[in-house]
Amino acid sequence: MGVKIKTLDGSTTTIPDEKLEELRMLVFRGPLLAAGDDGYDEARVIQNAHFDRKPGLIIRCSGTADVIDAVNLAREPTC
């Protein structure tokens, strides 16, 4: 099934479940959360309750390498 996300250029793409598992296990040290995952709803809460955003993915970076990988994933989500 995968996760649908909006890319930086405004288009929509799907990251397959297999790719998400690869990202979770091999790329990111911090948690990668999608809708339905434990902790997703808590992680997506922002200070202003007037806005209720539901991002396709939440990456809780654990260091500089995670930040770099998260930016690269946002640029090119299917690679």
Would you give the DSSP letter of residue 8? Answer: T
Chain centroid to CA 58: 4
Question: Angle at CA 33, nearest 5°, toward 32 and 34?
Answer: 130
pLDDT digits (tens, 9 = 90+) for 40-74: 999 988 777 777 778 888 999 999 999 999 988 88
Domains of the chain (ranges, CATH numbers): 3-75 (3.30.43.10)
Q: What is the mean pLDDT of residues 26-36?
A: 92
Q: Is the pTM of this model over 0.85?
A: no
For the chain, how long is the longest CA-to-CA vector? 36
Q: What is the mean pLDDT of residues 2-17?
A: 84
List, as one string, the DSSP characters of 45-79: --S-TT-----SEEE---SHHHHHHHHHHHHSTT-
